[in-house]
Chain A
Amino acid sequence: MSASTRTRRTRPAQFPWDLVGLVLLAVAVAFAPDLLKALFGRASVSYLSIATNALSLSILALSWDVLARTGQLSLAHAAFYGAGAYTTALLARHADVPLWIGIPLGGLAAVVFALLLGAATLRLRGIYFAIATLSAAEVLKAVVHHLPTGIAGGNAGMNVPTLFRPEFIAGQMERWEVAFLRNEAYFYVYATLLCMTVLASILVQRSRLKHAFTAIRTNEEVAGVMGVRPARLKLLAFVLSSVFVGMLGGVEAHRVGSVLPEQSFSVSTTVLALVTPIFGGLYTTLGPIVGALGLSSVQEGLRRVFSDGYLIGYGVVLVLSILFMPRGVVGLVGGLLRRRGKREAGR
């Protein structure tokens, strides 16, 4: 035994690509607004807004993926998103809570709801789990609908104060520069939230949780017999997933300036949350982000070429990529690189 242990101790330490990637991401987003402004001037206002949407999609997708790593293909992301949005909005409206408390509390509300939902769906698998989680958003939507309008605004929703209101003073700055400042501030909030989500995902992937999540996803019974506690870890995944999307809902409520039942608990939030990681590559940190940046670019490109009906083209791209890239962009590229490496090693 000792001889072979010795040979295997020489395994080279892996280069920390994930942490280096996170640092690069942080640096990139730190300089992105100034770079856009220098390159595009006035047009950078809308570019910054598009980039913020891409960050938003990244947070949505990556947080969904963390939960999916345990094999729980949840359709509850709109519920967590809406729970966060409404909590933040209610706190701002009724208690004048400052955003630095309101947004984390939105995340906390999503976690509480996720724990309840997670506990209720622990024993459900496959289609039954999907249906139960899908109904979660509908239940919350109905609750918000039926609360007295004095509390949550009912069908008409509520206004939420925007976070950043730089004042326009004639002569000091141009109007677009003021809009730029506002968008830049939001961009940094989203970027911070994304970096937190990425960090959480990296920590999961570097810890023993990665192995536990994969084991539960592949075969829950076998995982249990090997000492993994599926119930506890599945709930943990619910918490890790919902906290970020809940905060995203809170931030977005401020950015949009309102919450509405139809918009905050929209099925399209749920669909985007799962389609994006599938497009980019499931069960990785990189995949959902690549998916979000890729899909945002495709959507924006198509919108510019075909102003009407671009969503049809977007749908075609999605269907084709799921048919021909079952492991997503990251899986495809990784597979090609590995094959090339093998061919070169064979020479």
Chain B
Amino acid sequence: MSDILRVTGLVKHFGGLAAVDGVSFAVEANQIFAIIGPNGAGKTTTLDLVSGLLTPTAGRIEVLGSDVSAATPAQRCHAGLGRAFQVVQPFPEMTLRENVLVGALFGTPGRTRADAERRADAALELSGLAALADVDAEDLTLMQEKRLEIARALATEPSVLLLDEVMAGLRPAEARDAVALVKRVRDSGVTIVFIEHVMPVVRDLADRVLVMDHGKVVVEGSYAEVTQDARVIEAYLGKEEVA
């Protein structure tokens, strides 16, 4: 199988609490893979473990077949993992182009300056930020900040892009734009793993859906499959959401 990201038996304890408790899943190349679940289900912790910001208590993470469980965040980035954060964190002292350039310069080792600048411009273009390239990153709207988050991650040339609640806080029209952006990114050849609360977005985007609750996987399947699952309805969706 062409699994691009494979997570096996992932466990993370914070003191006595098992925030992530034996999570396993595999993402195929060019899929859009959604992780959903109620607050506190362990979704963001799972992404933090995958991108190396947290050290797992147990478990194994493979990117493109190579084990990165003990690697630093930078090494995982070089191995092909990109990450956009839920709480957008631009480098405020830099322009947008410089923000993205950091990813382009350092995301893939051995790239020349000119090459990185081209890559940064391409990432800005794909994210719809080309016109704002020379603006300081502290003067952005929320939607622009989210686009910048994605552009920076794209500039590292990831095989897999981890997106944490890109739609949170966006107005409906902006959310539609964001959905279109995620599709464009996938069409450019990037596999996507995303956390999302807004169910219509999950329906529109996801090829596969993983439902988590209390740090465990409840069920994994297509959108239609998981929304019919009685455990999911009970744990997360609530009765009116299904309709």
Q: Which residues of A contact B (CB under 8 A)?
A: 1, 4-5, 8, 208, 211-212, 214-215, 218-219, 221-231
Contact = CB atoms under 8 A, between A and B. Distances in A.
Interface in B59-118: 72-74, 77-78, 82-83, 85, 89, 91-94, 98, 101-103, 105-109, 113, 116, 118
A219 B72 contact: no
A211 B53 contact: no
B72 A214 contact: no
A219 B91 contact: yes
Contacts, number: 83
B215 to A, nearest CB: 22
A157 B149 CA distance: 56
B122 A1 contact: yes
Contact of B108 (A211, A214, A227, A231): A227
A227 B92 contact: no
B44 interface: no
Interface in B153-191: 153, 155-156
A208 B105 contact: yes
B116 to A, nearest CB: 8
B51 interface: yes
Nearest to B149: A222
B109 to A, nearest CB: 8
A5 B106 contact: no
Contacts of B92: 218
B133 interface: yes
Contacts of B196: none
Contacts of B109: 227
Interface residues of B, number: 38
B130 interface: yes
Contacts of B106: 208, 212, 226-229
Contact of B77 (A5, A214, A227): A227
Interface string B18-31: 00000000000000
Residue from B82, B116, B130 having most chain A Cβ neighbours under 10 A: B130
11 contacts: A211-B105, A212-B106, A218-B93, A225-B52, A226-B102, A226-B156, A227-B78, A228-B74, A229-B72, A229-B106, A230-B74
Nearest to A212: B106
Contacts of A222: 85, 89, 91
Nearest to A223: B102
A78 B163 CA distance: 45
Given A211-B102, A214-B94, A226 B89 contact: no
A270 to B, nearest CB: 26
Nearest to B155: A226
B89 to A, nearest CB: 5
Nearest to B122: A1
Given A225-B77, A227-B78, 10 more contacts: A5-B125, A8-B121, A208-B106, A208-B116, A211-B94, A222-B85, A223-B102, A224-B52, A226-B77, A226-B155
Contact of A229 (B74, B121, B133): B74
A105 B130 CA distance: 50
Nearest to B98: A211
Interface string B199-225: 000000000000000000000000000
A205 B195 CA distance: 38
B103 A227 contact: yes
Contacts of A229: 72, 74, 106
Contacts of A208: 105-106, 113, 116
Contact of A218 (B77, B85, B91): B91
Nearest to A207: B113
A4 B53 contact: no
A4 B123 CA distance: 12
A8 B133 contact: yes
A212 B102 contact: yes
Contacts of B12: none
Nearest to B81: A225
Contacts of A230: 74
A225 B91 contact: no
B146 interface: no
A8 B94 CA distance: 18
Contacts of B147: none
Contacts of B91: 214-215, 218-219, 222
A261 to B, nearest CB: 40
Contacts of A215: 91, 102
B152 interface: yes
A1 to B, nearest CB: 5
A41 B143 CA distance: 67
Given A4-B125, A229-B74, A221 B53 contact: yes
Given A208-B105, A221-B53, A228-B106, A4 B130 contact: yes
